[in-house]
Amino acid sequence: MRVAILISGRGSNMEALIKGVKSGFIPAEIGLVLSNRAEAEGLAKAKKSGLKTLFLDPKEYKGKEEYDRAIVETLRGEGIDLVCLAGFMRIISPYFVDAYHNRIINIHPSLLPAFPGLDAQQQAIDYGVKYSGVTVHIVDKGVDSGPIIAQRVVEVKEGDTAETLAKRILAEEHKIYPLVLKALAEGRVKVKGRTVMVKE
Protein backbone atom coordinates (compact mmCIF):
# COMPACT_ATOMS: atom_id res chain seq x y z
CA MET A 1 0.00 0.00 0.00
CA ARG A 2 1.34 3.41 -1.02
CA VAL A 3 0.34 6.16 1.38
CA ALA A 4 0.35 9.95 1.14
CA ILE A 5 0.37 12.09 4.28
CA LEU A 6 -1.13 15.58 4.07
CA ILE A 7 0.03 18.12 6.64
CA SER A 8 -0.13 21.83 7.43
CA GLY A 9 2.08 22.12 10.50
CA ARG A 10 4.65 20.36 12.66
CA GLY A 11 3.70 16.86 11.53
CA SER A 12 3.89 15.01 14.85
CA ASN A 13 1.31 12.42 13.77
CA MET A 14 3.17 12.16 10.47
CA GLU A 15 6.33 11.33 12.46
CA ALA A 16 4.46 8.56 14.30
CA LEU A 17 3.37 7.06 10.97
CA ILE A 18 6.87 7.35 9.50
CA LYS A 19 8.32 5.60 12.56
CA GLY A 20 5.75 2.81 12.20
CA VAL A 21 6.58 2.30 8.52
CA LYS A 22 10.36 2.49 8.91
CA SER A 23 10.33 -0.01 11.80
CA GLY A 24 8.35 -2.50 9.71
CA PHE A 25 5.35 -2.32 12.07
CA ILE A 26 3.18 -0.91 9.25
CA PRO A 27 3.49 -2.87 5.97
CA ALA A 28 3.13 0.19 3.76
CA GLU A 29 5.22 2.71 1.85
CA ILE A 30 4.95 6.47 2.28
CA GLY A 31 5.03 7.73 -1.29
CA LEU A 32 4.52 11.42 -0.60
CA VAL A 33 4.19 14.05 2.12
CA LEU A 34 2.22 17.02 0.82
CA SER A 35 1.55 20.36 2.48
CA ASN A 36 -0.54 23.44 1.74
CA ARG A 37 1.98 25.56 3.68
CA ALA A 38 5.56 26.08 2.53
CA GLU A 39 6.72 26.77 6.10
CA ALA A 40 5.20 23.61 7.59
CA GLU A 41 7.78 22.09 9.95
CA GLY A 42 6.67 18.62 8.90
CA LEU A 43 8.03 19.08 5.37
CA ALA A 44 11.57 19.48 6.68
CA LYS A 45 11.11 16.47 8.96
CA ALA A 46 9.83 14.35 6.06
CA LYS A 47 12.77 15.39 3.85
CA LYS A 48 15.16 14.48 6.66
CA SER A 49 13.53 11.04 6.74
CA GLY A 50 14.27 10.65 3.03
CA LEU A 51 10.67 10.99 1.88
CA LYS A 52 9.39 12.75 -1.22
CA THR A 53 7.75 16.05 -0.28
CA LEU A 54 5.68 18.62 -2.10
CA PHE A 55 4.28 22.07 -1.30
CA LEU A 56 1.21 22.98 -3.32
CA ASP A 57 0.20 26.62 -2.88
CA PRO A 58 -3.60 27.07 -2.67
CA LYS A 59 -3.18 30.69 -3.79
CA GLU A 60 -2.16 29.50 -7.24
CA TYR A 61 -5.58 27.93 -7.84
CA LYS A 62 -8.97 29.54 -8.42
CA GLY A 63 -10.81 27.70 -5.67
CA LYS A 64 -11.00 24.69 -3.38
CA GLU A 65 -11.99 22.18 -6.05
CA GLU A 66 -9.33 23.28 -8.53
CA TYR A 67 -6.72 22.95 -5.78
CA ASP A 68 -8.02 19.53 -4.80
CA ARG A 69 -8.00 18.41 -8.44
CA ALA A 70 -4.29 19.26 -8.52
CA ILE A 71 -3.75 17.23 -5.35
CA VAL A 72 -5.66 14.24 -6.72
CA GLU A 73 -3.73 14.39 -10.01
CA THR A 74 -0.49 14.41 -8.00
CA LEU A 75 -1.59 11.50 -5.81
CA ARG A 76 -2.61 9.42 -8.80
CA GLY A 77 0.68 10.19 -10.48
CA GLU A 78 2.47 8.83 -7.41
CA GLY A 79 0.31 5.69 -7.32
CA ILE A 80 -1.16 6.56 -3.94
CA ASP A 81 -3.67 4.07 -2.51
CA LEU A 82 -4.54 5.77 0.79
CA VAL A 83 -4.47 9.34 2.07
CA CYS A 84 -3.74 10.13 5.73
CA LEU A 85 -4.68 13.63 6.88
CA ALA A 86 -2.37 14.58 9.74
CA GLY A 87 -3.10 18.14 10.79
CA PHE A 88 -4.11 19.17 7.27
CA MET A 89 -5.95 22.40 8.01
CA ARG A 90 -8.28 22.45 5.03
CA ILE A 91 -11.76 21.08 4.47
CA ILE A 92 -11.42 18.96 1.38
CA SER A 93 -13.86 19.18 -1.51
CA PRO A 94 -16.50 16.60 -2.49
CA TYR A 95 -14.41 15.98 -5.62
CA PHE A 96 -11.44 14.83 -3.51
CA VAL A 97 -13.70 12.68 -1.30
CA ASP A 98 -15.20 10.98 -4.36
CA ALA A 99 -11.82 10.50 -6.06
CA TYR A 100 -10.50 8.61 -3.01
CA HIS A 101 -13.80 7.22 -1.71
CA ASN A 102 -13.27 5.48 1.65
CA ARG A 103 -9.51 5.89 1.15
CA ILE A 104 -8.96 9.13 3.08
CA ILE A 105 -8.57 8.95 6.84
CA ASN A 106 -8.27 11.68 9.44
CA ILE A 107 -7.40 11.91 13.11
CA HIS A 108 -9.39 14.22 15.39
CA PRO A 109 -8.80 15.15 19.06
CA SER A 110 -12.23 14.27 20.47
CA LEU A 111 -14.59 11.34 20.75
CA LEU A 112 -16.59 12.05 17.63
CA PRO A 113 -19.39 12.81 16.98
CA ALA A 114 -18.77 15.07 19.99
CA PHE A 115 -16.82 18.29 19.38
CA PRO A 116 -16.09 18.28 15.64
CA GLY A 117 -14.21 21.10 13.95
CA LEU A 118 -11.64 23.42 15.45
CA ASP A 119 -10.65 23.79 19.12
CA ALA A 120 -12.05 20.39 20.09
CA GLN A 121 -10.14 20.34 23.39
CA GLN A 122 -11.53 23.73 24.46
CA GLN A 123 -15.00 22.62 23.37
CA ALA A 124 -14.70 19.59 25.67
CA ILE A 125 -13.59 21.71 28.64
CA ASP A 126 -16.29 24.32 28.04
CA TYR A 127 -18.95 21.62 27.90
CA GLY A 128 -17.73 20.10 31.15
CA VAL A 129 -17.29 16.51 29.98
CA LYS A 130 -15.34 14.09 32.16
CA TYR A 131 -13.87 12.21 29.20
CA SER A 132 -12.68 13.20 25.76
CA GLY A 133 -10.21 11.41 23.52
CA VAL A 134 -9.17 10.78 19.95
CA THR A 135 -10.92 9.43 16.86
CA VAL A 136 -9.58 8.06 13.59
CA HIS A 137 -12.28 8.17 10.94
CA ILE A 138 -12.90 7.89 7.23
CA VAL A 139 -13.37 11.27 5.60
CA ASP A 140 -16.73 11.97 4.01
CA LYS A 141 -18.28 15.16 2.66
CA GLY A 142 -19.08 16.56 6.11
CA VAL A 143 -16.78 18.00 8.77
CA ASP A 144 -15.42 15.22 11.01
CA SER A 145 -18.57 13.24 10.26
CA GLY A 146 -17.26 10.14 8.49
CA PRO A 147 -17.46 6.51 9.67
CA ILE A 148 -15.37 5.88 12.79
CA ILE A 149 -12.54 3.33 12.61
CA ALA A 150 -11.12 3.59 16.13
CA GLN A 151 -11.23 5.71 19.29
CA ARG A 152 -9.33 6.08 22.54
CA VAL A 153 -10.62 7.71 25.69
CA VAL A 154 -8.69 10.39 27.58
CA GLU A 155 -9.88 11.62 30.98
CA VAL A 156 -10.51 15.34 31.37
CA LYS A 157 -8.91 16.22 34.70
CA GLU A 158 -9.92 18.95 37.10
CA GLY A 159 -8.01 22.10 36.26
CA ASP A 160 -7.25 21.01 32.71
CA THR A 161 -6.69 23.69 30.11
CA ALA A 162 -7.04 23.15 26.37
CA GLU A 163 -3.24 22.88 26.25
CA THR A 164 -2.83 20.26 29.00
CA LEU A 165 -5.71 18.18 27.64
CA ALA A 166 -4.34 18.46 24.09
CA LYS A 167 -0.95 17.17 25.25
CA ARG A 168 -2.45 14.00 26.74
CA ILE A 169 -4.72 13.46 23.75
CA LEU A 170 -1.75 13.89 21.38
CA ALA A 171 0.13 11.10 23.16
CA GLU A 172 -2.79 8.78 22.38
CA GLU A 173 -2.98 10.06 18.78
CA HIS A 174 0.61 8.94 18.25
CA LYS A 175 -0.35 5.41 19.38
CA ILE A 176 -3.70 4.94 17.63
CA TYR A 177 -2.89 6.36 14.17
CA PRO A 178 -0.11 3.83 13.40
CA LEU A 179 -2.37 1.00 14.65
CA VAL A 180 -5.14 2.07 12.28
CA LEU A 181 -2.79 2.45 9.32
CA LYS A 182 -1.35 -1.01 10.06
CA ALA A 183 -4.87 -2.51 10.08
CA LEU A 184 -5.70 -0.79 6.78
CA ALA A 185 -2.43 -1.88 5.15
CA GLU A 186 -3.08 -5.47 6.25
CA GLY A 187 -6.60 -5.39 4.79
CA ARG A 188 -8.27 -5.82 8.18
CA VAL A 189 -10.64 -2.85 7.82
CA LYS A 190 -13.95 -3.30 5.99
CA VAL A 191 -16.34 -0.41 5.35
CA LYS A 192 -20.03 -0.89 4.55
CA GLY A 193 -22.01 2.32 4.61
CA ARG A 194 -21.36 3.87 8.02
CA THR A 195 -20.29 0.56 9.55
CA VAL A 196 -16.57 -0.09 9.92
CA MET A 197 -15.35 -3.55 10.91
CA VAL A 198 -11.77 -4.06 12.07
CA LYS A 199 -10.48 -7.62 12.34
CA GLU A 200 -7.99 -8.28 15.15
Give the residue numbers annotated as catalytic, written as ranges.
108
31 with 54: CB under 8 angstroms? no
54 forms bridges with which residues in the sheet?
Answer: 34
CA distances from 67 to 12, 24, 35, 95, 119 (A): 25, 33, 12, 10, 25
89 with 6: CB under 8 angstroms? no
Closest by CA to 50, choosing from 28, 32, 65, 24, is: 32
